[in-house]
Chains A and B, each alone.
Chain A
Amino acid sequence: MAKIGLFLARRLVKAAIILFFIVLINFALIRAAPGDPASVMAGEAGASDERYVELLRQRFGLDEPLHTQMFIYVTSVFQGDLGYSYRQGRNVSALILERLPATLLLTVTAFVFALAMGVLLGTLAAMKVGRWADTAITTLALISYATPLFWLGLMLILLFSVQLGWLPSFGFESVGAGFTGIDRMLDVAAHMVLPVLTLGLFYMAVYTRLTRSSILEIHDMDFVKTARSKGVTEGKVMVFHVLRNAILPVITFAGFQAGHLIGGSILVETVFAWPGIGRLAFNALLQRDYQVLLGVFVVTSILVLLFNIITDLLYTIVDPRIEVE
């Protein structure tokens, strides 16, 4: 346990350092934007309001030298202050926090779905390598891998909402239905089906391919022969020897993919009007509300950092070799 504590501490320090640099990039982006930073930050709506622009100028210390500006910005972000949206008339951090749960619900569900299905299909394909089941799964993965998310979302809406009328096509829940308890959960779940499928399918394809190739690689290894020479049944060989080892690169990769998944939620939330930070970002984009956009940028990066720590932790639990390194 002490080892895990140490590991966690080390990872947190590392994450804090990375976060620091991300905030720096954020600062650089504001400065790099063409035009007066204060007007840029104010966005299209706020730029006409002299007082607001002046407020921004003071807040960022835009009359101060560059390094002071940087210092002011970084400390304010680390204190949880992501700025103020003139459009929405609210603090950016409050805006984001409010929408975070919906995004987390969507991305985590999609991730679990993608991972579970991916590992399952990948295993199935590897076990039936060269046969029709393998061909079918590989083809499905290949197509899912090439399908643009937003388009897939639209097509699913077209099929399941418009044509078949089975599932709701937008929103988090039925507005005004006044569901409570189990009913509300079911309602939300029904709303989630299409967004989760849309977001998850691409990553499912990724994990399917990865699992399949990883299993095929492990399958030839000596320790699998050892297990066979002990007279272990094929099923047990697969689960306890092959799959357990084959899953490691999948976990590593899943960690890397976290950022992509959260980025993808911008598209999915836009298509399905899902009230999360992705949709917030899209609206901010339309309104040129850069304070919000950059806030989303910082927060999603933090999510990725947290997610990476979780996958690393998972890895240390699955792989006993990690602690010595």
Chain B
Amino acid sequence: MDLQIALLLSQDGIVNGAIYALLALALVLVFAVTRVIFIPQGEFVAFGALTLAGFQAGKVPGTLWLLIGLGAAIAIVEVVIAMRSGALRRLTSALGWNLGYPAVAAAVVFLGEPVSWPLFVQVVLALAMVVPLGPMVYRLAYQPLLSASVLVLLIVSVAVHLTLVGLGLLFFGAEGSRTPAFSEASFEIGGVVVTGQTLWVVGASAVLIVVLYLFFERSLWGKALRATAINRTGARLMGISSTQAGKLSFVLAAAIGALSGILIAPITTVYYDTGFLIGLKGFVAAIVGGLASYPIAAAGAILVGLLESFSSFWASAFKEVIVFTLIIPVLVWRSLTTRHVEEEE
């Protein structure tokens, strides 16, 4: 291996690592706020990419049906709950969002002509279709289990993952899609070609991480999420609803996932089940950070990206084996450094 190849592999590793870092941040966020280990994170990556690809191919993306379906399901659940408790007044807003929003989205998709719109607008539209799925999934699958153990929530996560993968296959088919690059520019730095898309991915990840940092440090909502993460009961006593915090964290996770998918779609062909592996690598990174530390998780993500790109050079068949086996030394290190003391109930 010469320097040129090493630089090329590093570039690859950093690009992938940047995506894993975003996903790792979302996973840490969701776990801290809701105790949900968010296995379906990867599906949002695939949905984001495939929805954008759908617009570009002039098709109606299946996520629209999912949006309508989940909205209708929530509407039914809310109506049943409201009928039982007699609190019909609160129903208006729930029905408005869950039936109205998908209806508007459908109108835009069918009446407009997304295929002819500029890329930026298509991206915004794709996000508008995919991001609401996050809080909707939270409402249906997780909110009724607010007090369940981490283990039960994890099993639910796996079930949600399976359901979404199956729906992904149904909506998008088995063929993969690739979208055009955001930028055709390319530069040569030290003899290595750096494409515009690479810069987009790394730049967007960096910007997003800074935005998230500001959100958590400066905004009231961000602080509310942090408070919930530190102490759920305490936060509730301060008037922060666990449910609202949970929904917000799912909005963020879905947005980060969908955006990651949109960023990588020009680099790699995305299939309906691609997200799972990508999400799991974000997981390995999140576990490096103990599901608690954002900076260590981000550093872990870059490490995972580099490990992946270098092992694909040396032993490409064993790429996945190497990446997933990384978790074992990490877990050993975790088990040696943390002393788990049972909490007095």
Q: Indicate whether A and B interact.
A: no
Binding site for B on A (CB under 8 A): none
